[in-house]
Amino acid sequence: MNFLSTFVTFKNLHEVRRLCHWGPIIALSVIAICSTMAILDSIIWYWPLDTTGGSINFIMLINWTVLILYNYFNAMFVGPGYIPLGWKPENQQDTQYLQFCRGCQGYKAPRSHHCRKCNRCVMKMDHHCPWINNCCGHLNHAYFTSFLLLAPLGCSHAAVIFIMTMYTQLYERISFGWSTVRIDMSAVRQFQPLMPFSVPAFAATLFALGLALGTTIAVGMLFVIQMKVILRNKTSIESWIEEKAKDRIQHYQTGEEFIFPYDLGSRWLNFKQVFTWSGTPRGDGIVWPVHPKCHQHTLTIEQLKQKADKRVRSQVQYRAVEDYNGACCPLSKGLQTFFRTPCTEEPRIPLCKGDTILATRGTKWWMYGDKVLSEEQLRAGDRVRGWFPRRCVEKCHYDTAASDTTSDKKVN
């Protein structure tokens, strides 16, 4: 009991709750279905104890499953690494280059971002992944990317097993008219399978084949996207910040030259910042090696400039003309609003008639913005922002004085 208590702590149990989410449930179900069907079909198709090829095939299949689960659970439970609550830089003068996070009551370290799902500032945050129900960041980026590589490889192997099983079992039962397609079946026919290949088995194999092919394509594309940013020592968020920096410079014609500070100039050096033999990435998640022409706060200064630019461009004020309860897909707001709901985990904000919102972006049917709060709520550090149906609001017509007052109240 004492041995178990060293592992089963409150913190561990809290982390285990990450499994109780639709993302991990679907991901682990796909892994379980593909792995189980591949093992059963490999026994039917290529008995592992009869030939060397069958043994190698079976061992490789087990190996894929173990490696996929190892990297998946590490990505989930190791986590991205979080900035300590209330963190401040050692040099107090550096605070002028950093953003303050009201949620964590501290400053955001370079490359960190606040995740609304995790409710913490995440080290080198790439994105919040629903499939692992955790953020992908500094500490688990290598595990997450390895999982994205191994899953398509394992599913490709499983797909071959599914196809060969169906072919061998249907070879003599159904005439496909493929007179030119012949595969040597002498090796696999040396053993009569213990399990009959019935119609339900065929249907299950066909279903598993669809899952394996779909996973190979979808996860394979995600792996390519991740490797593109890793080889440039970026994250998905930083790629977006770099694009906005170029747009800002071009819009205002400032003549600045923005150099991404964390690209070390070599793909191999960038690769080694994430992948190491020990599995632990280099660095402490706060101080980073930078380009010779840059410094630690080059990117954070650019983020502050973009925040200021956003405040200038986002002074479009709207007033709620309909109540909205914050539903993800509100059928009462029309079919187009129902079917065109944003495909994102960003929150929806409930509205009451008369509420004022500062919109920052939107689509034809939905808008995203900050609700203007009372003085008491602002002093308490509250912030309410998210999506709401466009039909629930109308653009305000206000004078310059009202605009200036609203600008002063807006929270960064």
Which tokens go with 328?
A: 């993800």
Output DSSP code: residue 351. Answer: B
In the block, which residue shows the tokens 């977006």? Answer: 240
Strand ranges for 19-102 from DSSP E: 100-101
Report the distance separating Cα 286 and Cα 265, nearest Å: 21
Report the distance separating Cα 168 and Cα 45, nearest Å: 7
Query: Of 295, 303, 244, 291, which Cα lies nearest the Cα of 266?
Result: 291
Report the distance separating Cα 329 and Cα 298, nearest Å: 41
Helix-helix angle 141-170:199-230, to 10 degrees: 150
129 is catalytic: yes
Give phi and psi for 233, each to the nearest 5: 55, 45
Query: What residues are paired with 272 via a beta bridge?
Result: none
Which tokens go with 394?
A: 């109308």
Q: Which residues contact 391 (CB under 8 A, 6 or more apart)?
A: 322, 333, 334, 337, 365
Q: For the chain, count helices (H), then strands (E).
A: 12, 11
Catalytic annotation, pick one of 129, 135, 136, 155: 129
Catalytic residues: 129
